[in-house]
Amino acid sequence: MPRTARDVVFVDGVRTPFGKAGPQGLYAETRADDMVVTVIRELLRRNPALPPERIGEVAIAATTQTGDQGLTIGRSAAVLAGLPKSVPGYAIDRMCAGAMTAVTTAAGSIALGAADTAIAGGVEHMGHHPMGSGVDPNPRFISERLVDPSALVMGSTAENLHDRFPAVTRARADAYALASQHKVAAAYAAGHIQPDLVPVAVRSAERGWGLATRDEPPRPDTTLAALAGLKTPFRPHGRVTAGNSAGLNDGATGCVIAAQDVAAELGLDARMRLVDFSFAGVEPEIMGAGPVPATEAVLARNDLTIDDIGLIEINEAFAVQVLAFLDHFKIADDDPRVNPWGGAIALGHPLASSGVRLMIQLARQFAARPDVRYGLTTMCVGLGMGGTVLWENTSD
C-alpha cells in the first residue's frame, strides 16, 4: 500500500557538559551509560507533554561499544532511565557521526510511521575507551593496499589534508582555532550554551562528590603565540597540533524528534524540520574532506546553493578540515554563518555524541534568527566519510 512520508521535526536537545578524557577529567569515575541516563531523564523533565509510552525508539550511538558503552546501550539506557519496558532501543555506530546517524535513522522510522517520536543521541567516554581500543583492523587493509596506513590515524589524515590543500596553512589553522576559543567564551558570557547543559553528579574517590555544570575543555586565554609553540605529534614539522584540533573528551548528547503532526497533537515544540540528509565516502586517508560531497549532495537534491544556507554548524575535528570545506564553497574563514558560538576545538569532541551537539546549537540559533530559513549540520567521519543534515527553521 503506498504511503506518504511524514515530516520529522527536532523538538528539543540536551547534553552533558563535555569533560577532558583521562584520570583527572570530570567523568573519570562516571559511567558512560549513566551519562546517557541523565540526558534521557532531562529530556523527559523538559518535555512533560511527551508521554513516555509514545516514544517509539531510543537510538544511542557509541564508537566503542563495549564495557559501559556496550549492552545495546539504547535499550539498556532506556531501561535504566525508567522508560516503560515497552519502549525499544538500539545502539548504532558511524564513528564521529554516530549521533547524527542515530537521528537520521530514527527519523526514517518516524517518517514511515513505524514510530511517532524517538530519543536519539550518542555518548563517548574516551577516558574509559580510548580511540581504537579493542580494535583489530583486518591486515588486508594494509597488505592489499585498500587504504593508506595513515587512514587509521585521524591526526595523520589531517596532515594529509594539509598536503592536499596547501592553501590551508598552519597559521590559518591556528587562527581558526583561536577564533573558536573566543567564540565559545563569548557564547558562555552571553548565556547561549548553558540552557542546554544538564548538570551531572560526578564522583571522585579522592575529591568526593561534585557537580559538572559547564564544559571542561575550553581555553579562553589561548593566544596565537601559544598555539604556534605547540608540537606536531603526527609528523615532524607538521601542521596539526593539540591546539588546532579537538581534544579527547567524554560526554553524552540526546534529542527528541517527532513526526510534525504528532508534535502538534502533543503540544511539543517543533524547533526545526529535517529536510534532507546525506552521507558520502571519500578516500580514507583524507577523511576530513567528507563534509564536501555530503553537503553537495544535499544541496543538489534540494535545488539550493551554499548561499541559501544561513547557518552552518560544522564539527571541528581539525581546523584544516573546516577550512578545506570553507575554501571549497568559497566561504571566508570568519564568515558569521559558520559556528557562531564556536565548536569542537574549544568545546570538545566526544566522538559519537557530537552530531547532536551541532543540532542543539543550530536549533538554539534558529530560535534567535527567524530570518534564517535553512541551516546545515555537517561533519567528517573516520575511515573516509562525511555526513550532512539540512534543516529548515520553524521558529516564528
Residues annotated as part of the active site: 96, 349, 380
Cα-based angle 239, 241, 245 (whole degrees, multiple of 5)? 110
Residue 12 one-letter amino acid: D
Element (H, E) at 204: strand 200-204
> Which pairing describes strands 272-281 and 385-393: parallel, antiparallel, or unpaired?
antiparallel
CA distance linking residue 29 with residue 126, whole number of Å: 12
> What are the residues whose beta carbons fall under 8 Å from the beta carbon of 242, sequence distance 6 or more?
230, 231, 233
Element (H, E) at 30: none
Q: What is the DSSP string of 310-350?
A: EEEEE--SBHHHHHHHHHHTT--TT-TTB-TT--HHHH---
Only one residue has cell 558520502, namely: 280
> Which pairing describes strands 89-92 and 55-61: parallel, antiparallel, or unpaired?
parallel
Whole-number Cα distances in Å, 158 to 152, 282, 383:
11, 14, 12
E-only strand ranges, the chain: 8-15, 19-20, 55-61, 89-92, 117-125, 200-204, 208-212, 249-259, 272-281, 309-314, 374-381, 385-393
Half-sphere exposure (Cβ direction) of 361: Cα atoms closer than 13 Å: 27
Give the count of beta carbons closer than 10 Å to the beta carbon of residue 164: 15
CA distance linking residue 6 with residue 261, whole number of Å: 8
Element (H, E) at 380: strand 374-381
Cα-based angle 145, 170, 358 (whole degrees, multiple of 5)? 80
CA distance linking residue 84 with residue 44, whole number of Å: 12
Contact of 49 with 258, CB cutoff 8 Å: no
Contact of 369 with 352, CB cutoff 8 Å: no
Half-sphere exposure (Cβ direction) of 157: Cα atoms closer than 13 Å: 26
